[in-house]
Structure 1
Amino acid sequence: MQLQDRNYQIQGVDVLAIADQFGLPLYVYDADKIIEKIGLLRSSFAGVNLKIKYAAKALTNISILKLMRQQGVEMDSVSVNEARMGMLAGFEPSQIMFTPSGVSFDEIREAIDLGLQLNVDSLSLLEWVGQHYGSSVPVSIRINPHISEGGNIKISTGHADSKFGISILQRPDIRAIVEKYQIAVVGLHIHTGSDFKNADAFLRGADVLFDLASDYPNLKFIDFGSGFKVAYKEGDHITDVADLGRKVSAAFQGFCQQYGRELELWFEPGKFLVSESGHLLVQTNIVKENLTRTFVAVDSGLNHLIRPMMYDAYHDIKNVSNPSGDTKTYTVVGYICETDTFATDRPLPEVRPGDVLSFENAGAYGFSMASNYNARFRPAEVLVYDGAPYLIRQRETFDDLLRGQVDVPVLNSEIIEQQV
């Protein structure tokens, strides 16, 4: 995407025109960027039997799921409700990996009844599956490889203290339960977190899974999860996906030869596929000059994009209305009654009340983590597809805030004055 004078465009569509048509605040997604990322993954792993499983938790809008399915991408879910959304989008249950983390056995039973591919991440769950289903339900096993590498500790999942997966040190326990109940193990899974800059972490994880595979002769796939780093600002180091593809593919091909047959290689990208496609458009309410800094207050906050507050995540900000203005330094904040700072001391073209700003790289974990905190509405969502913007989620209304609340009649009586 390119900024040309006063005309910031997505697929040739003026962003300000989109803002005028659908109102603000607004999430806008570029379908071409998602398709580009899918193509990059496929071309990077051209030499293996690759399956891409979109990690739907990043952005679960059903139109995004339909776009993924249209592009031949399958799905990874972490809840039965995500899986049900995928099925509404047209995915077959067998195309959906279900990787729970500490959920109830009732939800596991529901997932099995739906026909999802169950990914087991605890010894207790493995035991339960064996007790109730024996060899009738094929499972994959999520391994914690004790690999600590990558970005923010809050999104790092493969270290020894992580709640995710079964420790590789419990390998004998896994095998004992599998043999006791004759559980059908069809896949091995690893996901060590996000923001890996090179192939080393994947190759170290590959060594763990390739060695473990010798315990299970009937595997169909090896699943490396995801963790590809995307750029959030100029000069950011990103994962070299082409280099990753060459190295991991070569290692995987060597493993398959040793294993005796070709398996499928799975990845579960979420942020990598949708992050750069997303833009959160907001309007400037107030420009407030204090003694120490100048604040830009916008009509959004941590209720719409919590990543900067939760992960200290950096999001580039563009002044869509005044891109050629003189550069000044601003602290961009939200309208929530909490400290919801999007950016501190950020140089931007002069911002005036009413200006439209765009928070970039907002496609992943933006709307999907949004809330109604402070009784605020969640924004609308728009997908730009084939050069035209389409509304894919309506803006919430006051009725949406009240939906599900129950009026208790006894509380409707007049206030009774206390007797002194």
Structure 2
Amino acid sequence: MQVTNQVYQIQGVDVLDIAGQFGLPLYVYDADKIIEKVNELRSSFTGVNLKIKYAAKALTNISILRLMRQQGTELDVVSVNEARMGLLAGFEPQQILFTPSGVAFAEIEEAIELGLQLNVDSLPLLEFIGRQYGRAVPVSIRINPHIAEGGNIKIQTGHADSKFGISILQRPEIKAVTETYGIPVVGLHIHTGSDFKNADAFLRGAEVLFELAADYPDLRFMDFGSGFKVAYKEGDHVTDLADLGSKVSRAFQAFCERYGRELELWFEPGKLLVSECGSLLVQTNVVKENPSRTFVHINSGLNHLIRPMMYDAWHDIVNVSNPTGDEKNYTVVGYICETDTFATDRNLPEVRPGDILAFKNAGAYGYMMASNYNSRPRPAEVLVYEGQPYLIRRRETFDDLIRNQVDVPVLNAVTV
């Protein structure tokens, strides 16, 4: 994405033209940006057998999954339905890592029937696998390393009080269960959270897995999760992928030499690959001047982009319609009947009723965390691929909102 001669373009296509063709609000994704990020991550690691497992939860549209498969990535999923999406997109079952978080054992059985690689996140689940399948199901084990790193506390997943993974302090219990049932352990997994700025957190987690590997002589891979920091505004510190790749590659090569053979090194990027590709385009409904501030009310809300309200996340805002207007200070708010603030005291080129704004970094956890709150439909999604915009999800309608509601005739009677 770029701003060229004050025109906001995606692969040379004016987003005003895209908005006119597909309507607003609208998610627009840049395929070139996704491809660029995949290649950047891949080229950062040398001398290791790297596998990129795209974290589908970030953006699960089947067209995005097909683009990922086209670029040679594999898949990380957290639900069986995400896995089914991946299968529809053309991934093979063995290319899909299933990392549940306390799901029903019935869903585990579905995942095993589909042939997915199971990543075990609790001792009760490990016991279940042993009792039900014995030696028949090879597993990976997700370890909680008790490392508190990352950005917002809501996205830290490796600290001692996190619900995720099996505590490293339970190492003896893990080994006892696997030995009792003869469960084949083929992988070790760690994911300590998001928004890491440097390699240190990955290396600390890696050392935990390197030591644990002594318990399991038949490993095929180690999975270091993800958590790469991306830029949300100018001047943001981001993960130095080249530095991280160099340091982790060296550490992993040294481990493999000690272990006695080469293992695969896995990462599960989601936000890194799709955050910057996405823009949420919206239209200004009302500009309301109060004594204390000026509000820009738009035709969207936390039902379409919840990250500012949930994580206090910053998203750059571009006034696509009036990029050269005089700068003024605004608070940008949504149309939801709730405190629904996208940005407070943000300086923008003058915003007028009808102006189209673009929220950047809306590719990850935009549509996927969207809802029908206030009975409002979700927007359409468009992918710009090789200079051509393609509709990849239709806009919801009122019929979609009531489609699964069931009429109870007895309630149609009027009573006084």
1:141-193 CA-partner distances (Å, limit 9, x unpaired): 00000000110000100000000000000000000000000000000000001
**Would you say the 8 A contact 1:150–1:193 is kept in 2?**
yes
Alignment correspondent of 1:31: 31
Alignment correspondent of 2:174: 174
Name the SS of the counterpart of 1:242 in structure 2: helix
Alignment correspondent of 2:113: 113
CA distance in 2: counterparts of 1:416 and 1:25, whole angstroms: 41
| AA aligned opposite 2:415 | I
Alignment correspondent of 1:230: 230
Alignment correspondent of 1:301: 301
Alignment correspondent of 1:82: 82
| AA aligned opposite 2:62 | I
Alignment correspondent of 1:258: 258
| AA aligned opposite 1:23 | G
Structure 1 residue 216, shift from structure 2 partner: 0.2
Alignment correspondent of 2:272: 272
Structure 1 residue 6, shift from structure 2 partner: 4.0
Alignment correspondent of 2:93: 93
Runs of 4+ in structure 1 over 4 Å off: none
CA distance in 2: counterparts of 1:192 and 1:29, whole angstroms: 28
How do residues 342-353 of structure 1 correspond to structure 2 at under 5 angstroms? 342-353=342-353
| 1:383 paired to 2:383 | yes
Structure 2's unaligned 5+ residue stretches are none
CA distance in 2: counterparts of 1:97 and 1:221, whole angstroms: 12
CA distance in 2: counterparts of 1:183 and 1:371, whole angstroms: 40
Alignment correspondent of 1:324: 324
Aligned residues: 416
| AA aligned opposite 2:384 | V
Alignment correspondent of 1:124: 124
CA distance in 2: counterparts of 1:197 and 1:292, whole angstroms: 37
CA RMSD in angstroms comes to: 0.6
TM-score, structure 2 length as denominator? 0.99
| 1:291 paired to 2:291 | yes
1:233-284 CA-partner distances (Å, limit 9, x unpaired): 0110000000000000000000000000000000000000000000000000
Alignment correspondent of 1:155: 155
Name the SS of the counterpart of 1:276 in structure 2: coil
Structure 1 residue 287, shift from structure 2 partner: 0.2
Name the SS of the counterpart of 1:331 in structure 2: strand
1:297-323 CA-partner distances (Å, limit 9, x unpaired): 000000000000000000000000000
Alignment correspondent of 1:416: 415
Aligned sequence identity (%): 80
Alignment correspondent of 2:52: 52
Alignment correspondent of 2:282: 282
1:60-79 CA-partner distances (Å, limit 9, x unpaired): 00000000000010000000
CA distance in 1: counterparts of 2:290 and 2:330, whole angstroms: 11
CA distance in 1: counterparts of 2:351 and 2:153, whole angstroms: 34
Name the SS of the counterpart of 2:276 in structure 1: helix
Structure 1's unaligned 5+ residue stretches are none
Alignment correspondent of 2:404: 404
Structure 1 residue 7, shift from structure 2 partner: 1.4
CA distance in 2: counterparts of 1:353 and 1:73, whole angstroms: 43
1:89-141 CA-partner distances (Å, limit 9, x unpaired): 00111100000001000000010011000000100000000000001000000
1:369-404 CA-partner distances (Å, limit 9, x unpaired): 000000101000000000110000000011100011
| AA aligned opposite 1:129 | I
**Would you say the 8 A contact 1:317–1:359 is kept in 2?**
yes
Structure 1 residue 47, shift from structure 2 partner: 1.8
CA distance in 1: counterparts of 2:4 and 2:138, whole angstroms: 54
CA distance in 2: counterparts of 1:416 and 1:164, whole angstroms: 51
